[in-house]
Amino acid sequence: MRQRTVLDEAEISRALTRIAHEVLEANKGAEDLLLLGIPTRGVPLAARLAALIARIEPGADAASLAGSLDITFHRDDLRSGRLRAAGRTEVPGSTVDGRTVVLVDDVLFSGRSVRAALDALSALGRPEAVRLAVLVDRGHRRLPIRADHVGKNLPSALDERVSVQLRETDGTDAVIIAGEKD
């Protein structure tokens, strides 16, 4: 199996910095902003984005910007037998009502995880707006879902695997694409 690194640590850092600026610009600041990471790797990405936003925007507090959104019981593959342990939903400020929520994930592929996240979010309340930020958009959508903020568009073949590694979960930062041998 051949594999290649498409984003290294420095490129991931630059992509997240750009996304943080885009989120602030789209929201016209950090007021009423909430970043909810989709487990597993969306959670540390949301925390990184919150830290970047807090460095950029005067008065913004990273701890009050980032949380997590468990989508386990909203997935459409529960009947497939692929059981996952339920995660935790943590919402700083305890409500999504009236806030701009940015869902954060590592890879956007079919759109099914985002659909589950939208269902989970609607069970929590009524945000003012919902946006999507992803580190990698690899295409192949099965649902009409589009990211508002993308670190890297990475056209890929269906038989290729895109793997995001983050220091918080894997000890290193990299995006690797792997496919069948030539």
Provide the domain limits for residue 110: 10-75+87-155
Give how many domains the chain has, as a whole number. Answer: 1
What's the whole-number average pLDDT of the chain? 94
Would you state the pLDDT for residue 80? 62
Sheet with 161-165: strands ordered across: 2-7, 174-179, 161-165
Position 161 in a domain:
no
In a domain, 55, yes or no: yes
| Predicted pLDDT of residue 78 | 64
Residue 52 lies in a domain: yes
Q: How far apart, in Å, are the Cα atoms of 67 and each of 40, 64, 82, 83, 128?
A: 12, 8, 25, 23, 17
Determine, yes or no, domain membership for 101: yes
pLDDT number for residue 73: 87
Q: What is the pLDDT of residues 95-136, one digit of tens each?
A: 999 999 999 999 999 999 999 999 999 999 999 999 999 999
Taking residues 60-74, report their average pLDDT: 95
Q: Is the pLDDT confidence value at 83 over 80?
A: no
The strand pair at 149-153 and 161-165 is best described as unpaired
CATH number at residue 132: 3.40.50.2020
Residue 27 lies in a domain: yes
HSE, side-chain direction, 13 A CA sphere, residue 101: 29
Q: Is residue 17 part of a domain?
A: yes
